Structure 1
Amino acid sequence: MTAAVEMAELWRGPIRESVHLGHAVVCGPGGDIVESWGDPGLVVLPRSSVKMIQALPMLESGAAAAAGLGPEQLALACASHNGAAIHVDRVRAWLADLGLGDDDLRCGWHMPRDEDEARRLTCTDCAHEQVYNNCSGKHAGFLTLTRHLGAGPEYIAVDHPVQKAVKAAWEEVTGEATLGHGIDGCSAPNFAGTLHGMARAMAFFAGASDTGDARSRAAVALRQAMVAWPELVAGEGRACTELMRAMDGRVALKTGAEAFFIAIIPERKLGVALKIIDGGTRGAESAIASILVRLGVLDPEHPAARQFRAPVLRNCRGIEAAHIRPGAAFS
């Protein structure tokens, strides 16, 4: 196993206080490795970075078309959203159009990341609706496929037809047999594979054509929805949203828990997969921004690039106390 490399550093004054180590792979057409850092064979759980793959069966099966889904719903199917009104209102409407409600979701509830909605829920007796879960769009997608298949309500079970379809899609686009699975924060199975396999899958999304087969057309629809609606994929101030805006829709980005990140770069038919081994989000955000700069698709001087690649950290009095900088891997 190749050792992890230094991808981001935190400096406080003249002292390097912390280092984020990680692994990353860039794949080109056909899934060949173009560039890598660390161990391409690292076994990973991609967490929410896999949502585009999880959404493929919904489109390939005809379920999305039958339900009349548009780009906004497809973006939400790929989202780890903030739980702002723009997210939860759309998920509620999607469920209502299916003839379903919040109780049909199996993702569970958590306080939204959006400050306005969190404040409103804290100060009222509102029910703990699952639509506030950051994965509620993905689960609305699972329910869309469940209804289309006429399958049972427990769509998160690993042996449910929905998850069997997700596993098949995962294995086909990664080019690997599944290496087991874990249970994600939203209760759905999260299938394991190698970092190279995940980058290969993202290269498939990058190279997909809307004149291709059903899977290729589905991949194009999902990546285009993400870049058309970056605010639905994450939310204001989030790396996915702000960096996609900074690249003018040329690149689709998706984070995952425990410091996973992917990038889909259609103009170069490249796919990127990244894992920071300590699970630190700030390290993953800096590293993915560094890779995008290295690949020539992100301007290092863009405010969003500076915000996530090399942010200044201020203390409670607003004084500059530390800063992140790219690690030795990108020097």
Structure 2
Amino acid sequence: MRQEPITAAVPLVEVRRGPLAESLHMGHAVICDASGGIVHAWGDPDAVVYPRSSSKMIQALPLVASGAAEAWHLTPPQLALACASHQGAPIHVAAVEAWLADLELSEADLRCGAQPSRDKALKLQMIREGESPCQLHNNCSGKHAGFLTLSQYLGAGPEYVLPEHPVQVAVRDAFEEVTGAVSPCFGIDGCSAPNHATTMAGMARAMAWFASAQPRGDTLSRAGAQLVEAMYAYPDLVAGEGRACTLLMRAALEPLAIKTGAEGYFVAILPERGLGVAVKIIDGATRAAECVMAALLVRLGVADPAHPDVHRFLNPELRNFAGHLTGEIRPLDTLFAA
């Protein structure tokens, strides 16, 4: 299905060198409340975008809601890994490998593809020792271990990434339930699983659904609450050392679950406020998505701008090869305006 190009984006972040704004990042951002209503919006709330890995907690919903997680005695760390875009560090690799072993499966049963570890020490060690990366190092291997768990529970076949597979049908149904709309299309993600598109408002609405899940008693909401609690309890498993998701969750002034996605997407779940946030930078720049997310967390009062792990994304300094300060990245004032 052909979609129109993303339109009506607004300036959100500028990159300054000396007295001039050298670059400008445009995008969309939406904050929704527990009712699904839009509280604040920048750009076009109706822009249809792939949320990429920001949707992993939605993709993990059937794993928990179906009863598969309980049947396999999955722990909160495993649920955090199911929502993760992890670093491929030893802690992540070992945990996914052990999870697969519990299923009597192996790395070969994954369908996410091999990816070099993003953990610098491990990557260099593997290069020195002549080891090749495998699928366990893929940042999506935890999500795929969750898919395999659900597939086994359902008695379905091994090709769990196919759009027509029962696992992906369940994911699509959950996605449309929490976004409140039929997804107009899907694309194949970097890990080979379908990634369903929705509007910016739809994704913010979904995050607000997660944020307000705890008081509700239905099966899907209980699953959502479990996943959110696992994410903010184990931020090191959701991403990794030095990553925005992990550092901002650790620095938050209250429970917070946030998740990055490729091509400048970012979402946040604020359980104590029943709010959901979705951000998309249309040029795909991660630096801008992280800046906007940090700015909105500050705006909402859940992050202290003076905290070093907030400041490093909110207003990072730019330095040249000699170490001299040459500029900065900063959010536009419109992100803080009433």
TM-score by length of 2: 0.96
User: Does the 8 A contact of 1:5 with 1:329 survive in 2?
Assistant: no
Amino acid at match of 1:306: H
> Structure 1 pair 134/244, CA: closer, same or farther in 2 (3 Å)?
same
Alignment match, 2:171: 166
Shift of 1:124: 1.7
Choose the corresponding residue for 1:246, options 235, 251, 258: 251
Distance in 1 of aligned mates of 2:129 and 2:100: 24
Q: Which residue of 2 aligns with 1:92?
A: 97
**Cα distance, 1:2 vs. partner?**
6.5
Shift of 1:177: 0.4
Equivalent pair of 2:116/2:134 in contact (CA under 8 Å)? no
**1:312 corresponding residue in structure 2:** 317
Provide the residue aligned with 2:231 in structure 1: 226
User: Structure 1 residues 103, 248: closer, same or farther in 2, change over 3 A?
Assistant: farther
CA–CA distance in structure 2, aligned partners of residues 196 and 239 of structure 1: 23
| Aligned partner of residue 35 in structure 1, secondary structure | strand
RMSD: 1.2
**1:148-171 per-position Cα deviation (integer Å, ceiling 9, x unaligned):** 011000000000000000000001
State the alpha-carbon separation in 2 of the partners of residues 59 and 253 from structure 1. Answer: 19
Find the residue that maps to 2:272 and give its secondary structure.
helix
Partner of 2:60: 55
Q: In structure 2, which of residues 112, 116, 123 is the aligned counterpart of residue 118 of structure 1? A: 123
In structure 2, relative to structure 1, the CA distance for the partners of 1:249 and 1:227 (3 Å cut) is farther
**1:170-189 residue pairs with structure 2 within 5 A?**
170-189=175-194
Q: Distance in 2 between matches of 1:115 and 1:319?
A: 25
Letter in 2 for 1:321: T
> What residue number does 1:67 align with?
72
- 3-state SS of paired residue (1:221): helix
Equivalent in 8, 32, 37 of residue 3 of structure 1:
8
Cα 1:56–1:189 change in 2 (3 A) is same
Q: Please name the residue that 1:263 is paired with.
A: 268
- SS class of match (2:56): helix
CA contact (8 A) 1:227 1:249 kept: no
Q: Which of residues 312, 326, 329 is equivalent to 2:331?
A: 326
The CA deviation string for residues 163-200 of structure 1, in whole angstroms up to 9 with x for no partner, is 00000000111010011100100010000111111011
Q: CA deviation at 1:330?
A: 2.1
Local SS of the residue matching 1:267: coil
The answer to whether the 8 Å contact 2:117/2:133 transfers is no
TM-score (norm 1): 0.98
**Which one is further off, 89-98 or 298-307?**
298-307
Partner residue of 2:152 out of 147, 150, 154: 147
Question: Helix, strand or coil: the match of 2:39?
Answer: strand
Task: Map Cα deviations across residues 180-230 of structure 1 (whole Å, 9 max, x no partner).
Answer: 100100010000111111011000000002661111111111001010000
- Alpha-carbon distance between aligned partners in 2 of 1:124 and 1:317, rounded to the nearest angstrom: 33
> Which deviates more from structure 2 when the two are superposed, residues 36-45 or residues 203-212?
203-212
Give yes or no for the alignment of 1:21 onto 2:26: yes
Residue 42 (1) aligns with residue 58 (2): no
Kindly indicate whether the alpha-carbon contact (under 8 Å) linking 1:228 and 1:249 is maintained by their aligned counterparts in 2.
no
| Unmatched runs of 5 consecutive residues or more in structure 2 | 1-5
Aligned residue-pair number: 331
Give the share of equivalent positions with the same residue, in percent: 59
Name the residue aligned to 1:283: 288
Report what 2:3 is aligned to: none
